[in-house]
């Protein structure tokens, strides 16, 4: 739980920093709607009740979190769901946490990259502030010793399109 709490603090600080940059982002006020488009990590799989990061983020910020984390979801599934979710919730911030299931299913990285770029482009077309959460690159040896690192694809995408990235 200590690692999760530290990760939440990093997530929160990154979002606040990203959203407080005057040239790109406006502050997200308490009560604002924040949409999380994700997979089992966002859903809260493995977390104790009320200890998943969306719940903790809502408690820490006062934001209305719409948790659209679906276990097993891929970037293609997230892209397919996003237009309706944007219309339904009209969020002020989108947090994208997808790609892990693409890696587990060994889908082509080019497909995952294209889907993530399309998600970010759709958010941009809606003038929606967006941050992306990096997913670890699968490496059996690193996983065995608990030393996973972020997949480099996320940093490349975010640098290319100008989206803040939450790493590690």
Q: Which regions of the chain are under pLDDT 70?
A: 1-24, 139-148
The pLDDT score that the predictor gives to residue 26 is 82
Superfamily of domain 2-166: SGNH hydrolase (3.40.50.1110)
pTM of the full structure: 0.84
The pLDDT score that the predictor gives to residue 15 is 54
Q: In whole angstroms, give the CA distance from residue 132 to residue 164.
A: 6
CA distances from 142 to 61, 91, 139, 146, 148 (A): 34, 37, 5, 6, 5
Q: In whole angstroms, give the CA distance from residue 78 to residue 68.
A: 9
| pLDDT tens-digit readout, 50-93 | 899 999 999 999 999 999 999 999 999 999 999 999 999 999 99
The pLDDT score that the predictor gives to residue 20 is 44
Q: In whole angstroms, give the CA distance from residue 148 to residue 134.
A: 12
SS3 of residue 133 by DSSP:
strand
């Amino acid at each position: 739980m200590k690692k999760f709490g530290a990760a939440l603090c990093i997530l929160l600080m990154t979002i606040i920093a990203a959203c407080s940059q005057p040239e790109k982002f406006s502050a997200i006020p308490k009560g604002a709607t924040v949409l999380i488009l994700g997979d089992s990590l966002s859903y809260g799989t493995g977390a104790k009740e009320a200890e998943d990061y969306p719940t903790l983020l809502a408690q820490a910020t006062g934001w209305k979190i719409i948790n659209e984390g679906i276990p097993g979801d891929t970037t293609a599934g997230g892209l397919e769901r996003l237009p309706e979710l944007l219309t339904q919730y009209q969020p002020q911030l989108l947090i994208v946490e997808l790609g892990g299931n693409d890696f587990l299913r060994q889908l082509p990285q080019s497909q995952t990259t294209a889907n993530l770029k399309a998600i970010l482009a759709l958010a941009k077309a809606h003038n929606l502030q967006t941050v992306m959460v990096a997913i670890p690159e699968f490496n059996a040896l690193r996983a065995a010793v608990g030393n996973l690192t972020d997949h480099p694809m996320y940093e490349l995408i975010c640098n290319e399109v100008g989206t803040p990235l939450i790493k590690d």
